[in-house]
Amino acid sequence: MPLAPASTHPMSSTSLRLASDRVRAQSASLGLLDKQARELEEARVHALAAFDAARRELDDITAARDQVLEQCRLVANTRELDIRAIHSHAMARLPLELLRAVFIEAAHDADPDLSFVDGECDMERSAVPFILSSVCRGWRKLAHECQAMWTYIAMPPQEGENEQWKQAHLARLRSSLMRSGCAPLDVIVGPPNILSDVVSG
């Protein structure tokens, strides 16, 4: 803001005294303000230094955290592999009769009625024998010899499905029928044309 030009009119003694008092007060205020400005600038410099230090500390902490998380991931993966190895070893030492009983239990629901709600197929249950038989050669041989595993026969409605999907489910149905042997069956099939396809095949 530009300063107003000084008055060229002569000042009375009273006006001169008042002006002098104002100048002294203003000079004192300027001194205080200048001191505050220097103190604030010094505080700002310290704050910037503290901020930079805090940012470096945050970066170090973040890097350390990421390293710990990576170690956790590696340890968790190693532990999972060890657990699988232990389970595999334990399962390999099970007597075949006990392993067969485990297979049968896994392939059957605790409550078979739940599989027939509104005529819906329990595809997860029907997939269990195929999953167990795909683990290893020994399990596949045992599963194929265990007729009681294959007694749940499910074929969902196939409207809107492609031919490859239909053929895959028909092949699974034929496999279940063949491997179930003479064991009693729980059967859920889709529309009659699907069953006729299986019978005709």
DSSP 5-35: PPP-SPPPHHHHHHHHHHHHHHHHHHHHHHH
Give the pLDDT confidence score for residue 116 in this predicted structure. 47
Give the pLDDT confidence score for residue 159 in this predicted structure. 64
Quote the CA–CA distance of 104 and 149 in Å, as a whole number: 5
Give the pLDDT confidence score for residue 117 in this predicted structure. 46
Give the pLDDT confidence score for residue 158 in this predicted structure. 64
Q: At what angle do helices 163-180 and 192-200 cross, to 10 degrees?
A: 60
pLDDT in tens, the chain (201 residues): 555 555 556 778 888 888 888 999 999 999 999 999 999 999 999 999 999 999 999 999 999 999 999 999 999 999 999 998 888 787 778 788 888 888 888 888 645 555 444 456 677 788 888 888 888 888 889 888 888 888 887 777 666 667 787 788 788 888 888 888 888 877 776 554 444 444 444
User: Could you tell me the pTM of the whole model?
Assistant: 0.47
Domain ranges of the chain: 15-93, 96-200
Closest CA to 184 of 151, 161, 153, 162: 151
Which residues, other chains included, contact 182 with Cβ-Cβ below 8 Å and sequence gap of 6+?
147
Rg of the chain taking only CA atoms, in angstroms: 43
Quote the CA–CA distance of 107 and 127 in Å, as a whole number: 8
